[in-house]
C-alpha cells in the first residue's frame, strides 16, 4: 500500500515538472487562413506581461522564460482579426482576415499599410461602396461630400469636364492649389479622374495635415489624394462580376423662376411706359398675346432626360501565390447640351505574386480610350467672342426673342419656320445653326503602368523598387461646314498632344518590435520624376465644299500652325521615423529634400519636415471598463511642405515670336516673359490639433483645429512700364488660412 502511494506521488511530481517545462518556453507558427502562407511580422504577446516578440520570415515565434502565471497569448497583425487563446506547446495559429480591419488599413506616405487608428496625421478614407453608389463619368464627383474639409469642383456640366479639389481651403494665389494625386503609389495628373472606372477603385485616402503629407514634400502643400485600385484576394477562387447601370440626367427647373413673354412685356412697360408708343414693341406685344407665344430658351438649347449607361465585368481571385484582378468596362453618357457626350472604354490588369518568402513582384496596368464632344458655343458675327455654354442663353435669353421664323397662318394659327442665323437683337450666331452645321471630335488615350519588386532579406527589413509610367495621346478635330448665309465660310482646326511621366521610387523600410510593447518603423527612400510633353495645332478658313474639310483645303492666307514642348525633372530624398508604445503613445517625424528643375541652380533644393504625436486614451487601463466609449484620441502635428507649381520655365526669360518691326513690317522675336533667377519655393507651415472619438459602436466624432500659413508666395510682381513688361514672377506675400 505504501509502495503504491509513493508511486502515485512520484507520478504527480513528474507531471508537475512536465507542465512547468512546457510553460517555460512557448513555440509556434502563425499561418494566414487566406493563402496558408506564414504571417511575417505578427506581434506575439503574453497577456498580462511585457513579454513579446514578432514572427520571423517563416511565421515562427519563440517566447522564453514564461512565468507560471501566464495563461494566454495574444497575436495581432494588420488586416487580420486578433487571436487570443490558451498557451499550448508547439502552437499553430491560423489568423483570419477581418473585413472591418481591412477597410481601416491605409497607405500613408511610402512603405507598407497601417491601421487607420495608428495614423498620427489627419487622414480620411472613402470606401469603394461609397463610390459605387454614385455612378459618374468622373469619379471625383463621387467624392463630393465624402471627406470633411475637401471640396470638389467641376468646371462645367459637360460629361468630360475637368475636376479640381481643395483640401482645407486655398494655400496659394498664383501657384497650384490642387492636391497631389497618387494612383497605386505613383503620382498622376487630374486627367486620370475621367479615365478611371470607379468600379475598379478599392478606396481613396485623403491626407490633410503636415504629419501625413510632409513625406511627399514639395508636391503636397495642398494635401494628398491616394487612390488604391482593387486587387485579387488570395483566399478566393476565380470570382466573376458583371454589372450594368442605366440612368437619366435631368436639368434643373429653370422655368419656375423665369418670366414668360406676357410677364416680360408687362414688366418692360412698367419700367418704361414710353414703350407703349413704340410701334415695333406694340406689334410684338400684339402678336405674342394673339398666339400665346413665349420662348423657352432652356428647352431650345438644352436636352432633358439624357441617358447614361455603363456595363463592366471583372474577374478576380488567386492561383497559388499569385492574385489577380482583370476588368473591362464601357461607359456612355449623352450631355445635356447639344453635341456634348462621351464614350469610354476601360481595361485593367492588376497582378501580384509572391515568388517565395522573401520576394514579391507586382504589376498594375490600365488603359482607357475616350471619344467625346463638347459644346462649340455661340459665336458673334465678327468672330470676336464666344459664349462658352448654352446655359448662358438658357438663363439670359429673353422670352420675347425667337431664334426661328414665326409664320402666321391664314387660319389664325402660327407655325415655326427655319432657324435664324443670328439671335434677335444680339448679333450672336444662333447656336442651333452652328450645331447643325458643324462637327467636333476629341479622342484621348491614357495608360498607366506601375511595377514593383519587394525584397525581405531578413526579418523586419523590406526593400522596394517601383517604376511607374503615365502617358497620354490627345487628338482634336473641329469643323464648321460652309452653309447658306454663313459669312465666315467653312473652317477647320486640328490639334495633337502627347505626354508622359516617369516615376522611379526606391525605399528601405525597417520594422522592429521589442518587449511586445515598443513598435518602431524607419523608412528611407529616393524618388525621381521626369515629365515631358509636346504637341502642335493647325487651323484655317475658307473651306467652300463640305466634302473637302482637310487642312489642305483651307486658304493659305488664313492658315495657322503652332507647336509647343515642355519638360521638367524632380529629384527627392526622404526619411520617416515612427514609434508607438503599447498602442497608446504615438510619435512620428519625417524629413524630405526636394530638387526641381523649375528653379535656378542656386535655389533648386529645399528641405521640408514634420513632427506629430497622438495619445490613444481609450487604451489606458482606467478606461477599459467604459464599454460605451469605443475610441478616444488626441492628435497634434506641425510641419512644412512646398509648392513649385508655377510653370516649368518661370525662372528663365522666354522669347516669343509674332512681333513686327516698325520698318518693312518684318516679323521678329521679342522677350515674352521676364525670368527671375532668385525664384525659390513657396513654403506652407501647417499646424493641426484635434480630438476624435467613437461611442456606442455607432457614432463617430472628430474635431480639428488647423492653421496654414504660406510664406514666400509665388506671385506676379508689377513692373515699371519702362521695362516693356507689366508683371513678372517673384516670392512675395503671405497667406493665412
Domain boundaries, the chain: 1-95, 261-295, 306-379+437-736
Contact 72/84 with Cβ under 8 angstroms? Answer: yes
- Tell me whether strands 150-154 and 186-188 are parallel, antiparallel or unpaired: unpaired
3-state helix, strand, coil in the chain (%, to 5): 15, 50, 35
Q: In angstroms, what CA-CA distances link 176 with 241, 550, 569?
A: 40, 38, 17
- Tell me whether strands 180-183 and 224-229 are parallel, antiparallel or unpaired: parallel
As a whole number of angstroms, the longest Cα–Cα distance in the chain is: 138
Contact 115/121 with Cβ under 8 angstroms? Answer: no
Q: In angstroms, what CA-CA distances link 18 with 309, 343, 373?
A: 70, 74, 81
Q: Reply yes or no on whether the pLDDT at 19 is more than 80.
A: no
Q: Which cell numbers in the block locate residue 8? A: 502515485
Q: For residue 377, how many other CB atoms are within 10 A of its CB?
A: 17
Q: Which cell numbers in the block locate residue 691? A: 480630438
| Average pLDDT over all residues of the chain | 81
Residue ranges of E strands in 33-90 = 43-46, 52-54, 60-64, 72-77, 80-86
Q: Reply yes or no on whether the pLDDT at 604 is more than 70.
A: yes
pLDDT value for 238: 84
Q: Reply yes or no on whether the pLDDT at 710 is more than 80.
A: yes
End-to-end CA, the chain: 91
Q: How far apart are CA 349 and CA 184, in angstroms?
A: 13
pTM, entire model = 0.76
Pick the CATH number of 1-95 from 1.10.760.10, 2.60.40.1120, 3.30.2130.10, 3.20.20.140: 2.60.40.1120
Residues 644-660 have pLDDT tens digits of: 888 888 888 777 765 55
Band of the pLDDT at 197, cuts 50, 70, 90?
confident
Domains 1-95 and 306-379+437-736 share a fold: no
CATH class of 306-379+437-736: mainly beta
Q: How far apart are CA 600 and CA 234, in angstroms?
A: 50
pLDDT value for 14: 42
Residue whose C-alpha cell is 514578432: 54
Q: How far apart are CA 352 and CA 369, in angstroms?
A: 25
CA 446 to chain centre: 15
Q: For residue 344, how many other CB atoms are within 10 A of its CB?
A: 23
Q: Between 73 and 557, whose confidence is greater?
A: 73
Residues 25-67 have pLDDT tens digits of: 888 999 887 667 788 778 888 887 778 888 887 889 888 878 8
Contact 509/462 with Cβ under 8 angstroms? Answer: yes
Contact 55/61 with Cβ under 8 angstroms? Answer: yes
Residues 75-109 have pLDDT tens digits of: 887 667 778 888 888 888 988 765 444 345 556 66
pLDDT value for 447: 94
The angle that helices 261-271 and 279-291 make with each other, rounded to 10 degrees, is: 150
pLDDT value for 90: 86
The radius of gyration of the chain from alpha carbons, rounded to an integer in Å, stands at 34
What are phi and psi for residue 622, nearest 5 degrees?
-70, -10
Among the residue ranges 20-24, 28-32, 252-256, the one predicted with the least confidence is 20-24
Amino acid at each position: 500500500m505504501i509502495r503504491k502511494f509513493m508511486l502515485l506521488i512520484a507520478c504527480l511530481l513528474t507531471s508537475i515538472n512536465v507542465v512547468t517545462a512546457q510553460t517555460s518556453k512557448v513555440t509556434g507558427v502563425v499561418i494566414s487562413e487566406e493563402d496558408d502562407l506564414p504571417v511575417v511580422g505578427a506581434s506575439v504577446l503574453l497577456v498580462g506581461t511585457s513579454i513579446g516578440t514578432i514572427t520571423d520570415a517563416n511565421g515562427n515565434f519563440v517566447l522564453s522564460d514564461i512565468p507560471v502565471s501566464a495563461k494566454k497569448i495574444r497575436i495581432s497583425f494588420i488586416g487580420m482579426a486578433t487571436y487570443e487563446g490558451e498557451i499550448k506547446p508547439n502552437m499553430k495559429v491560423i489568423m483570419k482576415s477581418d473585413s472591418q480591419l481591412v477597410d481601416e488599413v491605409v497607405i500613408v506616405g511610402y512603405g507598407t499599410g497601417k491601421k487607420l487608428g495608428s495614423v498620427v496625421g489627419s487622414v480620411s478614407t472613402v470606401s469603394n461602396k461609397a463610390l459605387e453608389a454614385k455612378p459618374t463619368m468622373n469619379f471625383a464627383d463621387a467624392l463630393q461630400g465624402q471627406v470633411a474639409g475637401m471640396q470638389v469642383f467641376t468646371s462645367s456640366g459637360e460629361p468630360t469636364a475637368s475636376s479640381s479639389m481643395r483640401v482645407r481651403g486655398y494655400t496659394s494665389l498664383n501657384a497650384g492649389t490642387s492636391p497631389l494625386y497618387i494612383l497605386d503609389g505613383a503620382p498622376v495628373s487630374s486627367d486620370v479622374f475621367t479615365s478611371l472606372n470607379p468600379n475598379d477603385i478599392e478606396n481613396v485616402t485623403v491626407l490633410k495635415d503636415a504629419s501625413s503629407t510632409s513625406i511627399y514634400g514639395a508636391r503636397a502643400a495642398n494635401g494628398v489624394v491616394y487612390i488604391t485600385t482593387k486587387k485579387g484576394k488570395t483566399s478566393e477562387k476565380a470570382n466573376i462580376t458583371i454589372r450594368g447601370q442605366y440612368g437619366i440626367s435631368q436639368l434643373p427647373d429653370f422655368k419656375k423662376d423665369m418670366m414668360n413673354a406676357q410677364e416680360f412685356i408687362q414688366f418692360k412697360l412698367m419700367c418704361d411706359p414710353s414703350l407703349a408708343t413704340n410701334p415695333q414693341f406694340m406689334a410684338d406685344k400684339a402678336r405674342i398675346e394673339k398666339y400665346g407665344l413665349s420662348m423657352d430658351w432652356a428647352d431650345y438649347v438644352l436636352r432633358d432626360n439624357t441617358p447614361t449607361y455603363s456595363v463592366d465585368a471583372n474577374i478576380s481571385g488567386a492561383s497559388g501565390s499569385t492574385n489577380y484582378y482583370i476588368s473591362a468596362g464601357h461607359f456612355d453618357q449623352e450631355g445635356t447640351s447639344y453635341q456634348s457626350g462621351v464614350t469610354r472604354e476601360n481595361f485593367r490588369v492588376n497582378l501580384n505574386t509572391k515568388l517565395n518568402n522573401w520576394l514579391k513582384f507586382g504589376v498594375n496596368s490600365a488603359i482607357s480610350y475616350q471619344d467625346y464632344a463638347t459644346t462649340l458655343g455661340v459665336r458673334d458675327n465678327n468672330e470676336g467672342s464666344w459664349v462658352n455654354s448654352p446655359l448662358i442663353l438658357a438663363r439670359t435669353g429673353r422670352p420675347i426673342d425667337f431664334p426661328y421664323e414665326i409664320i402666321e397662318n391664314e387660319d389664325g394659327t402660327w407655325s415655326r419656320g427655319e432657324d435664324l442665323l443670328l439671335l434677335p437683337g444680339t448679333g450672336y450666331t444662333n447656336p442651333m445653326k452652328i450645331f447643325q452645321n458643324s462637327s467636333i471630335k476629341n479622342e484621348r488615350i491614357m495608360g498607366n503602368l506601375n511595377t514593383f519588386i519587394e525584397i525581405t532579406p531578413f526579418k523586419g527589413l523590406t526593400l522596394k523598387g517601383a517604376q511607374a509610367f503615365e502617358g497620354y495621346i490627345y487628338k482634336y478635330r473641329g469643323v464648321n461646314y460652309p452653309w447658306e448665309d454663313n459669312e465666315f465660310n467653312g473652317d477647320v482646326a486640328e490639334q495633337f498632344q502627347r505626354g508622359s511621366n516617369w516615376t522611379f521610387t526606391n525605399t528601405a523600410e525597417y520594422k522592429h518590435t521589442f518587449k511586445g510593447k515598443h513598435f518602431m518603423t524607419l523608412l528611407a527612400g529616393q524618388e525621381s520624376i521626369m515629365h515631358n510633353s509636346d504637341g502642335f495645332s493647325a487651323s484655317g478658313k475658307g473651306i467652300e465644299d463640305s466634302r473637302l474639310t482637310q487642312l489642305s483645303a483651307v486658304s493659305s492666307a488664313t492658315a495657322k500652325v503652332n507647336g509647343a514642348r515642355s519638360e521638367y525633372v524632380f529629384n527627392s530624398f526622404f526619411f520617416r521615423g515612427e514609434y508607438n508604445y503599447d498602442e497608446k503613445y504615438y510619435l512620428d517625424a519625417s524629413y524630405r529634400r526636394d530638387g526641381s528643375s523649375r528653379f535656378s541652380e542656386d535655389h533648386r533644393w529645399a528641405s521640408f519636415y514634420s513632427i506629430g504625436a497622438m495619445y490613444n486614451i481609450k487604451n489606458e487601463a482606467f478606461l477599459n471598463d467604459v464599454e460605451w466609449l469605443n475610441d478616444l484620441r488626441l492628435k497634434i502635428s506641425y510641419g512644412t511642405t512646398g509648392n513649385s507649381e508655377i510653370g516649368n520655365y518661370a525662372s528663365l526669360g522666354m522669347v516669343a515670336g509674332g512681333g513686327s518691326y516698325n520698318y518693312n513690317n518684318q516679323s521678329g522675336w521679342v522677350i515674352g516673359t521676364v525670368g527671375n533667377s532668385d525664384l525659390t519655393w513657396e513654403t506652407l507651415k501647417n499646424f493641426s490639433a484635434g480630438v476624435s472619438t467613437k461611442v456606442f459602436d455607432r457614432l463617430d466624432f472628430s474635431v480639428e483645429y488647423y492653421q496654414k500659413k504660406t510664406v514666400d508666395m509665388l506671385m506676379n510682381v508689377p513692373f515699371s512700364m519702362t521695362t516693356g513688361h507689366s508683371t513678372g514672377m517673384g516670392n512675395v506675400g503671405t497667406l493665412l488660412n
